[in-house]
């Protein structure tokens, strides 16, 4: 944790020993043939052939996630992204950059009626909707404010949380921008491209002398399976992180991208997510979305 930051107290509801914050970054809602071909050539993993031949529905997993979490009586936070588009918002030179095609081609809009309907359905079911700040917004208060306003207009109610795309942060400048834009918490701070069992990533803190809270990312699916090439090793690392969080009464913030619930492309990744829920319950964890974890910590601070 950066020096000078104020740790919060941790007294979890119902006498729980620690908390697990369940989150999903909604980077994409469909996988185009371009994305399939790009990743096939870059990663040389044959599963991309599946979506190259049939892209329909590959990343539309909202109902699947809702059904699973309802079955286990938990809720999570969905961070929705309102990213720029390649041909309308980006400079012409972006068309020559393959990485920018991946980042900006076929971006969805939170104002799309279908997306807005999904967000409202999630909200009615007590899931939290929060902002996934666009790739460049970490360095612009105006961009963050506009994206927050557009998301709130589409949802029809205020949002309080933010996580920057690619976990982009300029510390502490981004946190200041987020606070000024009206956010109550950020969940972008975390180990870079890895999973690391350490106290720093399981202890939320206040970066300023205000109520604005930073909830570090602890386990992210993409980093987890990139480092631990077998599911057994990945699960053992998850268990190690859970044990550490229970020891210090901290928070494990889990990031499982919505599109990575596609079993054809990411076999057994969904099972690991479900095991995290079940293991947490067995270890006396309190599970919920970021907003409820934030509220629980605020309540504990004023005891």
> Do residues 23 and 220 lie in contact, with contact meaning Cβ atoms separated by under 8 Å?
no
Average pLDDT over residues 182-200: 87
**Sequence-ordered list of residues with C-beta below 8 angstroms from that of 274, at least 6 positions apart, any chain:** 68, 72
Q: Of 198, 210, 203, nearest to 172 (Cα)?
A: 210
Q: How far apart are CA 183 and CA 279, in angstroms?
A: 31
Average pLDDT over residues 280-287: 97
Least confident of 65-74, 152-161, 230-239, 292-301: 292-301
> Do residues 20 and 280 lie in contact, with contact meaning Cβ atoms separated by under 8 Å?
yes
Q: What is the mean pLDDT of the chain?
A: 86
Q: Of 260, 218, 266, 263, nearest to 239 (Cα)?
A: 218
Token reading at 164:
């920057």
Token reading at 296:
């629980």
Average pLDDT over residues 269-288: 97
Q: Of 23, 217, 220, nearest to 130 (Cα)?
A: 23
Residue 22 — φ and ψ, nearest 5°? -95, 125
Radius of gyration over alpha carbons of the chain, in Å?
19
Amino acid 101: pLDDT: 52
Residue 126 — φ and ψ, nearest 5°? 80, 15
pLDDT band at 1 (very low <50, low <70, confident <90, very high): low
**Sequence-ordered list of residues with C-beta below 8 angstroms from that of 265, at least 6 positions apart, any chain:** 31, 47, 48, 50, 51, 58
Domains (ranges, CATH) in the chain?
6-301 (3.20.20.370)
The DSSP element (H or E) to which 253 belongs, if any, is strand 251-255
Confidence (pTM) = 0.89
Asked whether residue 50 carries a pLDDT value surpassing 70, the answer given is no
């Amino acid at each position: 944790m950066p020096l000078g930051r104020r740790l919060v107290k941790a007294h979890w509801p119902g006498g729980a020993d620690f908390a697990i914050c369940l989150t999903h970054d909604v980077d994409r809602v469909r996988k185009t043939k371009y994305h399939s071909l790009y990743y096939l050539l870059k990663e040389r993993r044959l599963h991309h052939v599946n979506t190259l031949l049939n892209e329909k529905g590959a990343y539309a997993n909202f109902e699947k996630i809702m059904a699973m979490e309802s079955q286990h009586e938990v809720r999570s936070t969905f961070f929705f992204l309102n990213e720029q588009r390649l041909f309308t918002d980006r400079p012409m030179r972006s068309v020559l950059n393959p990485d920018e095609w991946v980042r900006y081609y076929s971006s969805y809009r939170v104002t799309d009626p279908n997306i807005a309907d999904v967000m409202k359905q999630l909200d009615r079911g007590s899931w939290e909707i929060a902002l996934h700040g666009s790739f460049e917004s970490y360095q612009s208060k105006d961009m963050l404010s506009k994206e927050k306003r557009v998301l709130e207009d589409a949802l029809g109610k205020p949002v309080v949380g933010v996580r920057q795309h690619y976990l982009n942060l300029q510390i502490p400048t981004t946190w200041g921008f987020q606070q000024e834009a009206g956010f109550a918490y950020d969940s972008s701070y975390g180990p870079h491209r890895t999973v690391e069992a350490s106290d720093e990533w399981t202890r939320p803190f206040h970066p300023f002398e205000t109520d604005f809270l930073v909830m570090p990312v602890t386990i992210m699916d993409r980093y987890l399976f990139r480092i631990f090439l077998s599911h057994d090793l990945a699960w053992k690392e998850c268990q190690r992180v859970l044990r550490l969080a229970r020891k210090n009464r901290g928070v494990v913030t889990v990031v499982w991208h919505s599109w990575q619930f596609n079993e054809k492309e990411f076999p057994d990744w969904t099972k690991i997510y479900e095991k995290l829920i079940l293991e947490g319950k067995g270890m006396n964890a309190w599970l919920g979305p970021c907003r409820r974890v934030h509220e629980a910590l605020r309540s504990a601070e004023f005891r």
